Amino acid sequence: MANFIVEADGGSRGNPGPAGSGAVVIDASSGKVIAEIARFIGVATNNVAEYTALLSALETCSKIDPGAKVTVRMDSKLVIEQMSGRWQIKHADMRQLAAAVRELSVGRVTSFQWIPREENSRADAQANKAMDDGCDTVTIFDGAASSPVENTSHKMASVAEFNAELPSSVRAPGGVSAKLTTVILVRHGRTVLTESKRISGRGGSNPPLSAAGRGDAASVAKAVAQIGKTGPWAHIKAPSAIVCSPVQRAQETANIIGNAIGIAPYLDDDLSEISFGAWDGLTNDEAREKYPELFEQWRGSWQVSPPGGESLFDFDLRVMNAKNRIFDKHPGETVVVVSHVMPTRGFIRAAFEAEISAYWRPQISPCSISIVRFWANETAEILAINATSHLAE
């Protein structure tokens, strides 16, 4: 049975700021380095980077030899004491990472040892390599630790031109003074009305998520939990708040996401879906058949509303109020907004400073993710619209 030593470290240039983790895996019997791991994380804290370094190292150990025993050595007092069970883990991000480390540690890690920083230079060098290169690099050596048998490097294209604090495009106007608020827009999961292609707005029967909708929500929760840590949006600051529509399907989706990332959602009534009044529960064809003239007047109009329903003009005003409250409450944060098709389009419309057509041109699928960065109402940057790759897993 092989015995490995893992030396791991992480760093953040700004804390939080661009962060990287590094580790080396050493054959305990020969003292040879058998793997070097550099992983670019994105915007994160030192503590997140240190935990990520340990997690990446244990994953590599498992790949090299699933049965190997591991001694962990780090200069992070926090990680060593928490993983040894002597210190509590209070932060939600740390709890998630610690849980993943524990899962890989069972039956494998024999001890967690603190070492002085000067004895952890090899891991520190890998962490700095990740931050300098902005990419992940994993090199596994042969027994002589001289020639790699596997060398993989992956640079995140999404980071290449990304500015963590200001608009990324050089053409964007300068002089931005407001703090950045990143908004993760999530539509709720499917309901029986979604599945039967019936109109479902604010009010009406207010159906819960269907079985498929709960599956949607579980998938999007997993994707949101990766934001700020790994995957395509590792370079974005991790969410620190969730705000949602009070409509049942949105609340249920938000609660599933909240359980995944350890944050309790709060409600904002202005994020409710637009009201369709008498048309709620009908198909589009049924609404058109019952109200043929009104239906055609309603299409493409700011002012016309269904009977007992809400005009697009009034709806847009309240969604903008919700948006502004988010800016006021969460400057400098990443906020998950769980709502519906129309509020999501409203945020996108505001980011583009677009006209009414923005309310029907973007496709917004159930449990899709759209990401917009706002510097209050000064400027905005759109990172993603209707991302759904997480739903195919």
Return the active site residues: 188, 273
Q: Which residue is it, tokens 């994953």?
A: 59
- Please name the amino acid found at residue 363: Q
Check the CA dihedral 334-221-261-346 and report its sign.
positive
Strand 135-141, strand 241-244: pairing:
unpaired
What SS3 class is residue 263? coil
Strand 148-155, strand 135-141: pairing:
antiparallel
**CA dist., res. 30 & res. 142, Å (int):** 12
- Cite the beta strand spans of 45-192 per DSSP E: 69-74, 109-114, 135-141, 148-155, 181-187
The alpha carbon torsion through 304, 201, 384, 178 (nearest 10 deg) reads: 70
Answer whether 9's CB lies under 8 Å from 52's CB. no
User: Pick from 347, 382, 383, 390: which is nearest to 365 by CA?
Assistant: 390
- Please name the amino acid found at residue 154: H
Q: What are phi and psi of 174, to 5 degrees?
A: -85, -175
**CA dist., res. 230 & res. 41, Å (int):** 6
**CA dist., res. 182 & res. 135, Å (int):** 23
- What is the distance between the terminal CA atoms of the chain, rounded to a whole angstrom? 35
The alpha carbon torsion through 257, 263, 265, 271 (nearest 10 deg) reads: -70
What's 172's DSSP letter?
A: S
- The structure tokens listed for 155 are 């640079």
> Looking at the DSSP assignment, which residues form a beta bridge with residue 9?
22
Burial 41-75 (b: 16+ CB within 10 A, else e): bbbbbbbbbbbbbbbbbbebbeeebeebbbbbbbb
Answer whether 28's CB lies under 8 Å from 65's CB. no
